[in-house]
């Protein structure tokens, strides 16, 4: 490791910390009138200031960062596991599984005569939707592992994830065709939103990050060895089947929690590791932590923009991440083609 690499990593780390702090403040200041520090001061001094800032804006802001961190970590882990810079946290069928779980819950409530939505104020109904999304995400990953006969071969695992994703998406479409009342809720879930995040969501997301980041970081050397090829990694003494299962479990838990709380947030898990490698190439030990921080920063930026661009209305945060992330990848491909 030379001095230039150390400086680049230090600059990236400092930049991510400063950006996060500034965006946390911006998140507290972003409201129905757009973003401004004067808005924050005026709101805090009002009669409902503690409620608006402390119970609505603060958990949403922190929850957006935690959701992005989980997606960034899952994306970096997936790209290392599959040795593919285009690997995405949703490749293992978790996104389609979560969508199917939500659609089944919405359809069941509609058929029962008490329709609910993602913005429901009923705590039990909200917990049911989150549980259905999380359970569906884990089901999608388990189906992928079953179809791939474990995690011994990453190519088979990748293809199985694509097949399971298509099948579960088709099942979700079939349910909405039979129960059209569930379609609106499904669309809201697919667009992604941080508007429903509360302190309970923040606690669940923080616990998930605490359960997935340490083991992923401990397996960083295994990911470094995998970049040399499976045969070389095996010759170095790695038990690849167990390593792959542990990494898949970390990806599934991180993605399942993020999706269950905020819906499908596009491109954050794909773009965050790309940005880290671009500004500070490093081994996976640094890249995993930096990708988590970058994912949190990206989603928090998108959340602040979503609340501020057309205030008092909001842009779905998943739409913004798709536009920003997709635009970045298009620019990157164009630049490489020109080069």
pLDDT of residue 121: 54
Q: What is the dihedral of CA 148, 151, 156, 157, to 10 degrees?
A: 80
pLDDT of residue 327: 85
pLDDT of residue 10: 93
Phi, psi of 34 (to 5 degrees): 95, -160
Q: What is the pTM of this model?
A: 0.91
Question: Beta strand 30-31 with 34-35: parallel, antiparallel or unpaired?
Answer: antiparallel
Q: Which residue has the tokens 């697919």?
A: 190
Contacts of 57 (CB under 8 A, 6+ apart): 27, 28, 30, 31
pLDDT of residue 11: 94
pLDDT of residue 258: 92
| Contact present, 168 and 140 (Cβ < 8 Å) | yes
pLDDT of residue 337: 64
The residue ranges of the chain whose pLDDT is under 70 are 1, 34, 36, 38-39, 43-45, 47, 113-125, 336-339
CA-nearest of 239, 207, 208, 209 to 226 is: 239
pLDDT of residue 18: 97
CA-nearest of 238, 210, 232, 189 to 66 is: 210
Contacts of 113 (CB under 8 A, 6+ apart): none
pLDDT digits (tens, 9 = 90+) for 261-312: 998 898 999 999 999 998 988 899 999 999 999 999 999 999 999 988 887 8
Handedness of CA 241, 242, 248, 251 (dihedral sign): negative
pLDDT digits (tens, 9 = 90+) for 222-240: 888 888 877 777 777 777 7
Q: What domain count does the chain have? A: 1
pLDDT of residue 45: 67
User: Which CATH number do you get for residue 242?
Assistant: 1.10.3470.10
pLDDT of residue 59: 94
Q: Which residue has the tokens 């490489």?
A: 336
Rounded Cα–Cα distance for residues 68 and 202 (Å): 12
Q: What's the domain range around 279?
A: 3-338
Rounded Cα–Cα distance for residues 268 and 21 (Å): 19
């Amino acid at each position: 490791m030379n001095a230039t690499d150390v400086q680049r990593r230090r600059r990236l780390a400092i930049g991510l910390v400063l950006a996060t702090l500034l965006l946390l403040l911006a998140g507290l200041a972003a409201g129905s009138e757009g973003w401004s520090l004067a808005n924050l001061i005026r709101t805090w001094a009002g009669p409902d200031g503690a409620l608006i800032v402390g119970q609505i804006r603060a958990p949403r802001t922190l929850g957006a960062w935690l959701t992005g961190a989980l997606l960034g970590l899952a994306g970096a882990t997936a790209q290392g596991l599959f040795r593919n810079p285009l690997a995405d946290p949703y490749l293992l069928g978790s996104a389609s599984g979560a969508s199917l779980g939500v659609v089944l819950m919405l359809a069941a409530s509609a058929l029962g005569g008490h329709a609910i939505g993602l913005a429901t104020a009923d705590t039990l109904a909200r917990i049911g939707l989150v549980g259905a999304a999380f359970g569906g995400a884990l089901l999608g990953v388990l189906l992928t592992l079953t179809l791939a006969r474990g995690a011994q071969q990453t190519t088979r695992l990748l293809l199985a994830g694509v097949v399971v994703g298509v099948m579960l998406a088709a099942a979700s479409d079939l349910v909405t065709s039979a129960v059209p009342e569930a379609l609106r809720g499904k669309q809201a879930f697919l667009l992604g939103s941080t508007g429903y995040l509360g302190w309970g969501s923040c606690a669940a997301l923080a616990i998930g990050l605490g359960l997935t980041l340490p083991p992923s970081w401990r397996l960083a050397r295994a990911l470094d060895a995998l970049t040399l090829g499976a045969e070389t990694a095996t010759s170095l003494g790695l038990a690849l089947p167990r390593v792959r299962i542990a990494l898949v479990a970390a990806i599934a838990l991180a993605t399942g929690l993020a999706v269950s709380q905020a819906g499908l947030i596009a491109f954050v898990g794909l773009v965050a590791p790309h940005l880290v490698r671009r500004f500070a190439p490093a081994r996976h030990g640094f890249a995993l932590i930096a990708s988590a921080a970058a994912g949190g920063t990206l989603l928090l930026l998108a959340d602040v923009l979503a609340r501020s661009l057309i205030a008092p209305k909001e842009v779905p945060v998943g739409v913004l991440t798709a536009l920003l992330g997709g635009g970045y990848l298009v620019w990157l491909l164009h630049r490489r083609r020109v080069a």
